[in-house]
Amino acid sequence: MKSMVRTSLRLVALLVAPLAVAETHTINQQDKTFSAEEITIKVGDTITFPNSDPYFHNVFSLSMTKFFDLGTYGQGESPSVTFDASGTVEVECAIHPDMYLVIEVTP
């Protein structure tokens, strides 16, 4: 009986092991720039966008893969977005037009 339970537990472990665990990534905003120009993440991952500037930011994307608008937020705030589909997401700041980020979301 113990042998059968151990075998069952090993089988469950083998089936569960390949499942990806969602990760949280951080793209900081400082000096009116994103901390990265590009990032590759997986479906289900989340990105937080902390504002380390003394200025307001408004991070958004009009991409078909992930449409979002985090609204205007100040220093010390850190909203996040979870990405639920694969594809390319172009991210900008509505207040600072030179801020641009490309997110590649892979399956």
- 8: in domain: no
pLDDT in tens, 66-79: 999 999 999 999 99
Q: How many domains does the chain have?
A: 1
- Mean pLDDT score of the chain: 89
What residues make up the domain containing 60? 21-106
Please report, for the domain that includes residue 50, its CATH number.
2.60.40.420
Task: Summarize the confidence of residues 35-44 as an average pLDDT.
Answer: 98
The answer to the question of residue 14 being in a domain is no
Closest C-alpha among 69, 73, 89, 75 to residue 25: 89
16: in domain: no
Give domain status of residue 96, yes or no: yes
Q: What average pLDDT does range 41-47 have in this prediction?
A: 98
Amino acid at 74: G
Question: Tokens 């504002």 sit at which residue?
Answer: 51
Q: What is the pLDDT of residue 25?
A: 98
Residue type at 38 in one-letter notation: E
Report how far residue 17's alpha carbon sits from residue 24's, in angstroms, rounded to the nearest whole number. Answer: 19
